[in-house]
Amino acid sequence: MADAPMTACRPHHDHRFGPCTLPDEINRDTAGLGDARGGCHWAGTASYWYRRCESKGHREWAQMRRTENRRDRHQARRRLRSRYRQQPPGMIGSGV
């Protein structure tokens, strides 16, 4: 988060209980990643939460599954086409 301020993290201001307490430096101790904090602190952006915290690799897994499913569909189509081409002309569409 500290490598890309304002992209992966943003300042979260909470001045209900006093003046601004936002730390000048972003690090593991000053960034609020899901833990409830009072006062001002650095927090993850919506895109950071989606890409890093909530998805837990679901996007990568979905991409792998789509690729595998696509291969399976293509193989099934190739098998059906080869069976169709191997049948004698009078047998196509007869249900035998």
Show the tokens assigned to 53: 């915290």
Nearest Cα residue to 2 out of 24, 34, 35: 24
Q: Quick one: average pLDDT of 41-63?
A: 71
Nearest Cα residue to 21 out of 1, 42, 5, 2: 42
pLDDT greater at residue 13 or residue 56 = 13
Q: Which of 2-6, 15-19, 64-68, 83-87 is predicted with the least confidence, judged by mean pLDDT? A: 2-6
Q: For 5-37, what is each residue's pLDDT tens digit?
A: 566 788 888 888 889 988 888 877 777 666 667
